[in-house]
């Protein structure tokens, strides 16, 4: 079979065959033939060759068929070979370019293409609710509407309508003015909208430019704000429609969005915290339990044309958002409301820089109330300074003063270094070779205490007696017990930011005199830093027979779809002191309220155990007697405690002793709690229960 030239017709290929046969017969070809045959010999083998004058193809073609032992080769001119080489190189270049674009640069090319024809809108999920222990809703979500825009689509359509000579800034101003007139929302700035609509390109972190296809114009608006805009977006495109509306239709949209609301405003604001516009938890429980509450975001993806308009039959993807789980707090909304009323009245009367209140169930560690003043409204958190967002029971670090004495006394009794009958002596000032200690009686100008047992030292709040008792033990013994109470570490409440305080470890001191001085001051609550929550947890351990329970703010997690609740178990952290030691300290704290500095914390018909505290603050490296933190921590009923209450006021303008300021606040809150356990529960937060005045029953100490 003779090979045929693919660029020649049938007659020409017949002429090839004819030329080959001429070699066999040693005849000359006719003058009309396109080929000039030549016979080439290679040894004994003869090869017939014909040279073509074909202007199309130039290459060598060898026939596959021998004719009488002679192989026919058609020799074509050089122009055909150059043409085929050019075609080969073009195909090779195209193949290389396709490999580079689809193989090496496939992901980048796809991303660039999608940024032009695919629009993605993220859908924020609804956060789970936050309930009180009585299932009152403290935080929930409501449906709002947010307005977004595609600046590139707006600029492109506007230039087609108004002409290319109109600048981006001018287009942004015109459209922003039109949108603001439609929305009529006070929080929207026309100038800010114009700036967002004018910017069509931005730089990535690596410096490469990217088209701006999505910006928020307004967030979380009421339905009444978007009625007019929604009407315009729903209109059919027509020639009589104003050009601004046609531009808005091409590049503006409305998305439903959830908005966090707090039905009771400031109630437990610092404990709850708040969320920002993107539904991310900030401060409080909203931050500490954000992963549980936030749910999973959804999205909408749709194809758009060159003007940014959705294609009628284009690709559409919808991933619905998933609502987060709800949490049930340990907070009792009735006790929380009572505590806030008492502290609000204290803020007016004593005018401290700040005030904190804590109420804990000592048996399981449930936090029934957390008060931080001054506070804020989480519905309008932007109006308040940032320092108000901190939950002071967890973040206010101070030297506790005399409220720390029962913890040191418990450590000394538990290690057996003293007994209830051990005696110390107070003469107002106690001097040693390296340091001296003064009792508060010197500052107040009252008689010295004289001989004091450990119970007397707590009852009279004697600094010298406590220092002398503390030096009978080693610092390590006291340190180990205090650590078991939770002093010097974060407690893991789960209500947002939390401070660990400070307790010096035993290996910090080198000189023995430094250890003794530190140990003596530690006995009356100096040289140690705590938060109100640290003290409340420690007193709860004394009330719970020496057993420390981890404080908790969340009681359960609720799945809103199924209604199932996962109840969290209380965590037992072990015993700080023995039940016998805790019982002895409890009896001593009862005497503090019945006969000592805590008389103003008494409750009618109920035994109270507690301790007053007045801590002088350090200013410029020295203790300033005019700057104090006053406090009272206690529990009731004393022999079967159900509530532990802590009250702390920082730098009150009026009153500077814990027994005069904090103890009456304890009594007022205790009365409110006792009153509330009498009616059927739960009570509604809408009931206005006026707090009893804590000044009416107070007698002078």
Spell out the long-range contacts of 457-460 with Cβ–Cβ below 8 A and sequence spacing 24 or more.
Answer: 457/405, 457/409, 457/424, 458/405, 458/406, 458/409, 458/588, 458/589, 458/591, 458/592, 458/596, 458/611, 459/588, 459/591, 459/592, 459/595, 459/596, 459/597, 460/596, 460/597
**What integer pLDDT is reported at residue 629 of this predicted model?**
95
Checking if the pLDDT of 549 tops 80, the result is yes
CA 275 – CA 228 distance, rounded (Å):
29
**What integer pLDDT is reported at residue 701 of this predicted model?**
38
**What integer pLDDT is reported at residue 513 of this predicted model?**
74
Q: How many CB atoms lie within 10 A of CB 53?
A: 10
Q: What domains lie within the chain, and their CATH numbers?
A: 1-104 (no CATH), 120-268+297-327 (3.90.1310.10), 333-606+646-676 (3.40.710.10)
pTM across the whole model: 0.74
What are the beta bridge partners of residue 630? 614, 649
CB 648 within 8 A of CB 629: yes
Q: How many CB atoms lie within 10 A of CB 672?
A: 21
Which one of 289-298, 304-313, 472-481 scores highest in mean pLDDT? 472-481
Phi and psi at residue 100, to the nearest 5°: -65, -45
> In terms of DSSP bridges, do strands 326-329 and 130-131 run parallel, antiparallel, or are they unpaired?
parallel
Interval 77-83 mean pLDDT? 67
| Strand segments (E) across 153-306 | 201-203, 209-211, 215-221, 252-261, 274-275, 281-282, 298-303
CA 118 – CA 567 distance, rounded (Å):
45
pLDDT tens digits along 307-339: 555 565 555 677 788 889 999 999 999 999 999
pLDDT band at 135, cuts 50/70/90? very high
Checking if the pLDDT of 194 tops 60, the result is yes
Checking if the pLDDT of 573 tops 60, the result is yes
CA 478 – CA 156 distance, rounded (Å):
75
pLDDT band at 212, cuts 50/70/90? confident
CB 263 within 8 A of CB 251: no
**What integer pLDDT is reported at residue 10 of this predicted model?**
47
pLDDT tens digits along 427-448: 878 888 778 888 877 767 777 8
Between residues 304 and 217, which one has the greater pLDDT? 217
Between residues 341 and 51, which one has the greater pLDDT? 341
Please, how many CA atoms are within 13 Å of residue 23, restricted to the half-sphere of its CB?
26
Phi and psi at residue 693, to the nearest 5°: -70, 135
Checking if the pLDDT of 216 tops 50, the result is yes
Checking if the pLDDT of 663 tops 90, the result is yes
DSSP state of 102: I
Interval 139-152 mean pLDDT? 89
pLDDT tens digits along 575-604: 999 999 999 999 999 999 999 999 999 998
Checking if the pLDDT of 52 tops 50, the result is no
pLDDT band at 18, cuts 50/70/90? low
Between residues 22 and 545, which one has the greater pLDDT? 545
Between residues 484 and 305, which one has the greater pLDDT? 484
Checking if the pLDDT of 699 tops 70, the result is no
Checking if the pLDDT of 73 tops 80, the result is no
CA 645 – CA 638 distance, rounded (Å):
12
Between residues 430 and 558, which one has the greater pLDDT? 558
> In terms of DSSP bridges, do strands 45-52 and 209-211 run parallel, antiparallel, or are they unpaired?
unpaired
pLDDT tens digits along 600-659: 999 988 999 999 999 999 888 888 888 999 999 999 999 999 999 999 999 999 988 999
Q: Can you tell me whether residue 213 is helix, strand or coil?
A: coil
pLDDT tens digits along 230-281: 888 888 766 678 888 888 888 888 888 888 999 999 999 999 999 988 888 9
Nearest to 539 by CA among 629, 630, 409: 409
Residues 351-378 as b/e (b if ≥16 CB within 10 A, e otherwise) read: ebebbbbbbbbbbbbbbbbbbbbbbbeb
Mean pLDDT of the chain: 82
DSSP conformation letters of 306-368: TTSPBPTTS-EEEE--BPPPEEEES--HHHHHHHHHHHHHHHHHH--SEEEEEEE-TTT-BEE
Q: With the CA atoms of 341, 344, 346 and 349 taken in that order, what torsion angle do they form, in degrees rounded to the nearest 10?
A: -120
CA angle 574, 575, 579 (to 5 degrees): 145
CA 268 – CA 673 distance, rounded (Å):
17
DSSP conformation letters of 25-73: HT-PPPTT-SEEEEEEEETTEEEEEEEE--SS--SEEEEEEEETTEEEE
Q: Can you tell me whether residue 203 is helix, strand or coil?
A: strand
Checking if the pLDDT of 50 tops 70, the result is no
Q: Which residues contact 375 (CB under 8 A, 6 or more apart)?
A: 266, 269, 270, 388
Checking if the pLDDT of 678 tops 70, the result is no
The secondary element (H helix, E strand) that includes residue 605 is: none
CA 282 – CA 272 distance, rounded (Å):
9
CB 295 within 8 A of CB 504: no
Helices (H) and strands (E) in the chain, counts: 22, 29
């Amino acid at each position: 079979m003779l090979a045929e030239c693919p660029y020649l017709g049938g007659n020409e290929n017949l002429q090839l065959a004819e030329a080959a046969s001429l070699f066999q017969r040693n005849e000359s070809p006719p003058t009309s033939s396109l080929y000039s045959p030549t016979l080439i010999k290679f040894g004994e083998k003869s090869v017939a060759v014909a040279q073509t004058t074909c202007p199309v193809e130039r290459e060598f073609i060898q026939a596959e068929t021998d004719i009488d032992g002679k192989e026919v080769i058609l020799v074509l001119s050089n122009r055909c070979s150059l043409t085929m080489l050019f075609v080969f190189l073009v195909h090779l270049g195209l193949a290389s370019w396709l490999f580079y674009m689809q193989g090496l640069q496939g992901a980048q090319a796809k991303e660039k293409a999608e940024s032009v024809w695919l629009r993605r809108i993220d859908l924020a999920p609804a956060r789970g609710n936050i309930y009180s222990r009585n299932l009152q809703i403290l935080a929930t979500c409501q449906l709002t509407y947010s307005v977004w825009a595609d600046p590139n689509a707006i600029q492109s359509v506007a230039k087609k309508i108004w002409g290319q000579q109109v600048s981006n800034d001018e287009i942004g101003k015109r459209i922003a003015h039109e949108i603001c007139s439609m929305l009529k929302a006070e929080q929207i700035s026309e100038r800010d909208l114009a700036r967002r609509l004018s910017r069509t390109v931005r730089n990535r972190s690596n410096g490469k430019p990217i088209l701006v296809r999505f910006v928020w114009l307004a967030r979380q608006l009421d339905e009444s704000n978007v009625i007019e805009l929604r009407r315009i977006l729903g209109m059919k495109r027509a020639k009589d429609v104003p050009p601004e509306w046609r531009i808005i239709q091409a590049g503006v949209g409305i998305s439903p969005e959830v908005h966090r609301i707090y039905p009771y405003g400031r109630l437990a604001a610092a404990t709850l915290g708040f969320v920002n516009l993107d539904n991310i938890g900030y401060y409080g429980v909203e931050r500490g339990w954000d992963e549980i509450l936030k749910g999973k975001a959804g999205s909408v993806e749709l194809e758009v044309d060159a003007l940014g308009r959705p294609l009628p039959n284009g690709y559409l993807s919808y991933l619905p958002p998933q609502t987060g789980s709800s949490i049930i707090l340990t907070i009792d909304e009735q006790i929380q409301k009572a505590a806030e009323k008492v502290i609000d009245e204290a803020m007016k009367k004593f005018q401290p820089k700040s005030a904190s209140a804590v109420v804990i169930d000592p048996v399981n560690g449930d936090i029934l109330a957390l008060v931080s003043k001054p506070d804020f409204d989480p519905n309008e958190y932007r109006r308040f300074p940032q320092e108000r967002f901190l939950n002071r029971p967890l973040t206010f670090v101070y030297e506790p003063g005399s409220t720390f004495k029962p913890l040191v006394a418990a450590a000394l009794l538990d290690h057996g270094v003293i007994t209830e009958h051990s005696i110390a002596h107070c003469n107002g000032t106690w001097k040693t070779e390296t340091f001296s200690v003064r009792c508060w009686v010197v500052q107040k100008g009252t008689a010295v205490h004289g001989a004091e047992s450990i119970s007397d030292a707590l009852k009279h709040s004697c600094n010298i007696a406590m220092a002398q008792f503390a030096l009978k033990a080693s610092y390590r013994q006291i340190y180990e017990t205090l650590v078991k109470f939770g002093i010097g570490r974060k407690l893991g409440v789960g209500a947002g930011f939390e401070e660990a305080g400070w307790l010096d470890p035993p290996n910090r001191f080198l000189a023995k005199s430094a250890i003794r001085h530190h140990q003596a001051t530690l006995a009356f609550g100096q040289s140690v830093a705590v938060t109100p929550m640290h003290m409340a947890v420690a007193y709860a351990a004394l009330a719970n027979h020496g057993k420390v329970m981890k404080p908790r703010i969340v009681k359960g997690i609720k799945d809103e779809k199924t209604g199932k609740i996962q109840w969290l178990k209380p965590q037992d952290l072990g015993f700080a002191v023995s039940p016998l030691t805790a019982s002895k300290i409890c009896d001593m704290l009862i005497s503090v309220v019945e006969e000592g500095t805590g008389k103003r914390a008494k409750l009618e018909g109920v035994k109270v155990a507690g301790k007053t505290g007045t801590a002088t603050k350090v200013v410029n490296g020295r203790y300033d007697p005019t700057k104090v933190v006053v406090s009272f921590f206690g529990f009731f009923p004393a022999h079967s405690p159900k509530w532990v209450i802590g009250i702390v006021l920082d730098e009150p303008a009026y009153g500077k002793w814990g027994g005069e300021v904090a103890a009456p606040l304890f009594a007022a809150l205790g009365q409110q709690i006792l009153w509330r356990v009498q009616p059927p529960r739960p009570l509604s937060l809408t009931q206005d229960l006026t707090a009893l005045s804590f000044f009416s029953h107070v007698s002078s100490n």
